Structure formats: structure tokens, C-alpha cells
Chain A
Amino acid sequence: MKKLRERAAELLSQGVVSLVLGYEEGTKRPRPLFCRNSVNAEKLIFDSRCIHNLAVYITKKELVGKERFAVTAPISTLRSIMQLFVENQLNEEKLLVLTVDLNGELREFTTFDEIAAYVAQFELKRGEREQELLSKIEGMTREERWKFWMEEMSHCFKCYACRSACPLCYCSKCVVEVNRPQWINPWPAPLANMEWHINRAMHMVGRCTACGACGDACPIGIPIDLITRKMMEDMAPEFGYIPGQPAKQGNALSTWKLDDREQFIR
């Protein structure tokens, strides 16, 4: 942590970056910090409690500005940054990625390949919570699953915290806000909520890296992160992807191959 603070202060005072996006102590747990000067670098922390996915901010130009900036990133954030690179949303020259490895050493990355090599050491695993809930859901019949999710979604009031917290929800106009035609009923109601969540999930297939930010952000505790996580787990082996390791060949559902083994696509 000390090394991170020193390095952040150095980067800021030398003008290498204009902003270090990191974490500070919050009310109950760490929260995002926009550190713009070396004095504030003293507030930076980086430990296992730092779970906000700061990649959500790095596509917002009004926040990160035009200058080069740094972001502190645990593994889940690194995966999102890789995916944003895959989707051509980031500029390697503008971004400096800082992380602390398992030995407590400060690591710095500037390119997709450097991050990819580092992230490749870490297998994406289900945590205790995900394992418990997903195995319960996997054990349900199709009808039971539908009932479970309809009940969960009925509590949704469409605050869109899930969308706002997701680093990959960077569209300037979300499908739910398109009104000519109106694809999704915008008011909160059980079926209209399901429409939104199905749409959100569909837009995440092959892109979600299971950071869990959407589920963590939901103020009413709907485990929506499990939907996109499960879809990723199911999709990856079918298309030869490693879960949580975004690859430069593109997203499973937005690329195609001339020699695809499936007849229908040729």
C-alpha cells in the first residue's frame, strides 16, 4: 500500500498522469477515489475489500479528461479493462494500470498484452456466494427457475444501478431508453422488469467478465450478476474461450469465421 501511495504521488507530481483512480476508506467499506494531487495520494488504499470495478469510470471522458491517467485494478477490474480493449474503447497511450500482486509488489501495465499475460495466471472461479446460489439455481427445473427469477425481478424498481455499475454498459443510449420503437416497457412491473433484465443479459453474452459489480450495486439485493456469469460459463467452452480472459479475436457473438464448422452460418 505504501508503494502504491508513493508511486501515485510520484506519477501525479511529475505530471505523468493527471488522475489516479483508486480506493479510499468509505463509510462501511472502501469506495472509489478520484485522486488528482499527490497530497490525496495518502488516502489511497488497496486490499481485498476494494471490490468496486473502477473500469466503469475509464470510458467517461468528462471524468478522466484528455490527459493520461492511472487506475488501480484488482483482477476483476483487469478483466474488464481487457474487455474494453477488445471492444476498442481504450487507448493504450492514455492508460496506466496499477495493481498489487500476490507478493505485495506494485505492478504497472500499459498494454493489453501485459495485462493479459498477468491475468492468465488467475483462473476465474466461483466464490462461495456464487457457488451456493448457482448450484441451487442449477438444481431447479426450468419452471422453478422461471418462478425464482420472476419473483426476484418483481422487486426491481428500475434504478438501473446494475447498468450504471457495469464497466461494459458504456452505450451513450441504452436500449431501454430507445423509444422509437419502444423495445422495452420502461415502467417497473414484473414482466417489464424481466424484459429489461433479459435484454441486459443478452447484451452481455460473450462480454461479461463476471466482476459482480451489477449484483453488488443492486440496492434491493437481486443476484443479477449470476445471470451474466452463468451465461459466460456456458458460452466460453462452446466457443473456445477461457472464462474471464477476454481475447483479441473478438466477442463470441459478434465475430464469425469463414471456416465455421456450423453449416447455417456459411
Chain B
Amino acid sequence: METKYISQSGIEQWFDAIVTSGKRVFAPVNSRGQVDFKPVKKLSEVADEYIQTTQSIKASVYPKAEVLFSYEKVNGKVNLTDFDPESVPETVLWKVHPCDAAGFKPLSAIFNWDTTDKLHNAHLAKTSVISFSCSAADESCFCTSVNGSPGNTAGSDIQLTMLPDGGAIVEILSPKGEALVALSPSVFVADKGEKKEKYLVDLPVRFNLEEVNAKLNKAFNSTVWKEQSERCLGCGACAFVCPTCACFDIQEDAHGSKGRRIRCWDACGFALFTLHTSGHNPREHQSQRWRQRILHKFFYMPERLSVVGCTGCGRCSRACPVDMNILEHITSIAKQ
């Protein structure tokens, strides 16, 4: 790893060089009163003055709906067109928060836990992540409680820490990061010896992850799930804004002798998610579905995939129509 300094005008030049290189660039854009990742061409399009994008960057490596394969039957013969990893464009994610970058690890752990997922891996291979450390947070943020931090570099190829002069400390973290730097090498100058930590928001740890894990180990039959989930409406807002939720459905877009098979986002909060063809539903009530959500992220994933399924981004709490505040709920479980 190497640390450099880049000036404000250097950032502008570098950004232009990335766009000019032909890579697709996604960055937070403020439109319709919401800040979300969108394709951008100019640095001036990128949003400032916000705490968190409404949606995570997940869709760039796990699209909302993606064609697994398409088929056509011609004269009794089936022509199959498989997903082509080469069809995925080189992509740069600009101004990702550390909690989003940290989400790639749990997401990939799910997609590769038995067979390797060709689609997800193709997106990941073509994606470079330029994260910006966080100088501000709100009451929903809790990355420091789930092994993260406002300056966490996990999942990033480059991390910028913005400085008062408009320039930034640049941490070059991977060969992909080096390749991005090589697009405009002259703008990266010697590190000025500034301490990154000075510019990070101070976010106190709110709960002890091991303590939560130990409590959850014995909580399957607890009444806490019913108590916490009563107001839950059973929508998929929390799952869809989450950087690590990976549940999907597979749908058929069939038109006579041809069609497509599509993988699309699903959510364990939906009643339909576990409904069997027989009519039996092993997670019949919302409390069971809420339990699944929490246990999956904070117990099953650490146990089976050695990674916590939550990065503390707080999006689910912000998106929930009825204030199912995950920090509050996990903290209360830790205290039980």
C-alpha cells in the first residue's frame, strides 16, 4: 500500500481521465430529492453534503434484475445464450462510503459459498472501488460496532480522505487502484504526512458484536422477535437498500418458443419468500421473518461464512416506513 496526496485540481483531472478512459463511472447524484448512485460523466454531477445514499452500491455488482440466460426454440432445436461475462463493462465506483465497500465481502461470501456465481464475480472483476472516508455520520450509522470504521479500507481499491484545502490523502490499496492512478500519474504527489484519523468522524461503538452473537445463540425461541417486529409491515425496503442482502428470486420471461430466465432481488421479509407449493409456510409470521433477518446477518453468516452480514450503514433504519431501527433493536438484544 502506498499513500499519496492529490490536490483539488488534481482530483478534477484524475476524474476526467477515468471518464475519458472509457470506463463506466457510478457516483452519488442528487436528484428528485434523493442521493443515489448514477452513471456520471462530470465531477460537478457528484453530490455533496449528504450522509448516506438511499440505496447501497450493491446493484453495481448484483443488479436488481439480470438475465441468467435466454433461449429460443427453432425447428425443434433449442438455442441457448448464456450470460456473457465479457458483456460487463469496466466500472469505477466513485465516492463509495467505507460501509458500502465493506459490503462486498459478505455479498461475495454468499454468492460463492458453494458454487461460484459467474454473474456476480464477473461484475466484481470489472469493478474498481474508490471510497471516501467519512467525516460525518448520523444517528443511524454504526459501522464501528460491526468491525468497520469511518476510514475502513476493506473492499476499496483506493481510499480518499478529503482535506480542508480541497485535496485529499490517497491510499492506493490494490493493483486495481494502481491502474486507476496510472491513468493520471502526475497528479499524485508525495504524501504530506497528514494523519488521516484527524479527518474522520468520531463514531462510538454502540454494542459488542461478540456479546450480541452470544445472546443470539440462545435467542431462537425468545419473545423478543415478536415484540420487536409487531410494527414491521413486511415490505422489502430494508433488504433492498442493504449493501449485503443477497436473496433473489428466479423468474421466467417466456414468450411462446423463446424467453429469458431472470434473477431478481427478493427479500426474506416477504411472506411469499418461504411459501411452499403445498401452501405450508415455515416462516408464517412476520416475527419469524424478522428473526431470520437478524440471525442471518449477526449469527448465521459469522458462523458459516466468517463474516458479519451487516456493515452498519444504517440504510435499513432510514428506509423503514415504521422505524424498525436495527441499531436500537440489536442494542436491546445485547442488553437482554
Identify the closest chain B residue to A62 (Cβ). B285
Q: Which 4 A-B pairs have the closest CB atoms?
A: A217-B321, A159-B236, A164-B233, A187-B264
Closest chain A CB from B244 CB (angstroms): 16
B231 at the binding interface (Cβ < 8 Å): yes
Q: Which of B192-248 contact A (CB under 8 A)?
A: 230-231, 233-237, 239-241
CA separation between A164 and B240, bound complex, in Å?
15
CA separation between A177 and B237, bound complex, in Å?
17
Residue pair B323, A220 in contact (C-beta under 8 Å) = no
CA separation between A152 and B236, bound complex, in Å?
19
Chain B residues with a Cβ closer than 8 Å to the other chain, count = 39
A158 at the binding interface (Cβ < 8 Å): yes
Q: Inside 8 A of B317's CB, which chain A residues have their CB?
A: 27
Closest chain A CB from B82 CB (angstroms): 19
Q: Inside 8 A of B179's CB, which chain A residues have their CB?
A: none
CA separation between A77 and B2, bound complex, in Å?
59
Among B34, B64, B262, contact of A157 (Cβ-Cβ < 8 Å): B64
A56 at the binding interface (Cβ < 8 Å): yes
Query: Chain A: interface secondary structure?
Result: loop
Residue pair A165, B251 in contact (C-beta under 8 Å) = no
Identify the closest chain A residue to B267 (Cβ). A159
Q: Which of A43-92 contact B (CB under 8 A)?
A: 52, 56-57, 62-63
15 contacts across the A-B interface (CB closer than 8 A) = A26-B323, A27-B323, A29-B323, A32-B230, A33-B231, A63-B230, A157-B55, A157-B64, A159-B237, A187-B64, A219-B237, A219-B319, A220-B34, A220-B55, A221-B33
Q: C-beta contact mask, A10-31 vs B, less than 8 Å → 1, else 0?
A: 0000000000000000111101
Among A29, A52, A187, A219, contact of B54 (Cβ-Cβ < 8 Å): A219
Q: Inside 8 A of A158's CB, which chain B residues have their CB?
A: 236, 265
Residue pair A187, B65 in contact (C-beta under 8 Å) = yes
Residue pair A56, B233 in contact (C-beta under 8 Å) = yes
Q: Inside 8 A of A185's CB, which chain B residues have their CB?
A: 251, 253
Residue pair B328, A159 in contact (C-beta under 8 Å) = no
Identify the closest chain B residue to A177 (Cβ). B272
A201 at the binding interface (Cβ < 8 Å): no
CA separation between A217 and B233, bound complex, in Å?
10
Closest chain A CB from B44 CB (angstroms): 22
Q: Inside 8 A of A165's CB, which chain B residues have their CB?
A: 233, 235, 321
Q: Inside 8 A of A221's CB, which chain B residues have their CB?
A: 32-34, 54
Closest chain A CB from B276 CB (angstroms): 14
Residue pair B236, A160 in contact (C-beta under 8 Å) = yes
Task: Please report the number of residue pairs spanning A and B whose Cβ atoms sit closer than 8 angstroms.
Answer: 96
> Could you say which of B55, B235, B240, B325 has the most chain A C-beta atoms within 10 Å of its C-beta?
B235
Q: Inside 8 A of B1's CB, which chain A residues have their CB?
A: none
CA separation between A33 and B236, bound complex, in Å?
21
CA separation between A126 and B299, bound complex, in Å?
47
- Also in contact, A28 and B323, with CB within 8 A (given A159-B239, A159-B267, A160-B235): yes
Among B235, B239, B251, contact of A163 (Cβ-Cβ < 8 Å): B235
Residue pair B322, A159 in contact (C-beta under 8 Å) = no
> Could you say which of A27, A165, A177, A189 has the most chain B C-beta atoms within 10 Å of its C-beta?
A27
CA separation between A213 and B325, bound complex, in Å?
19
Q: Inside 8 A of B139's CB, which chain A residues have their CB?
A: 27
Q: Inside 8 A of B117's CB, which chain A residues have their CB?
A: none
A34 at the binding interface (Cβ < 8 Å): yes
Q: Which of A169-206 contact B (CB under 8 A)?
A: 177, 185-189
Closest chain B CB from A252 CB (angstroms): 27
- Also in contact, A161 and B236, with CB within 8 A (given A27-B140, A187-B64, A219-B241): yes
A155 at the binding interface (Cβ < 8 Å): yes
Q: Inside 8 A of A29's CB, which chain B residues have their CB?
A: 323
CA separation between A56 and B233, bound complex, in Å?
9
Residue pair A27, B328 in contact (C-beta under 8 Å) = yes
Q: Inside 8 A of B303's CB, which chain A residues have their CB?
A: none
B191 at the binding interface (Cβ < 8 Å): no
Closest chain A CB from B55 CB (angstroms): 7
CA separation between A163 and B236, bound complex, in Å?
11
Residue pair A219, B240 in contact (C-beta under 8 Å) = yes
CA separation between A29 and B286, bound complex, in Å?
23
> Could you say which of A52, A63, A220 has the most chain B C-beta atoms within 10 Å of its C-beta?
A220
Residue pair A161, B233 in contact (C-beta under 8 Å) = yes
Residue pair A186, B235 in contact (C-beta under 8 Å) = no
Residue pair B55, A32 in contact (C-beta under 8 Å) = no
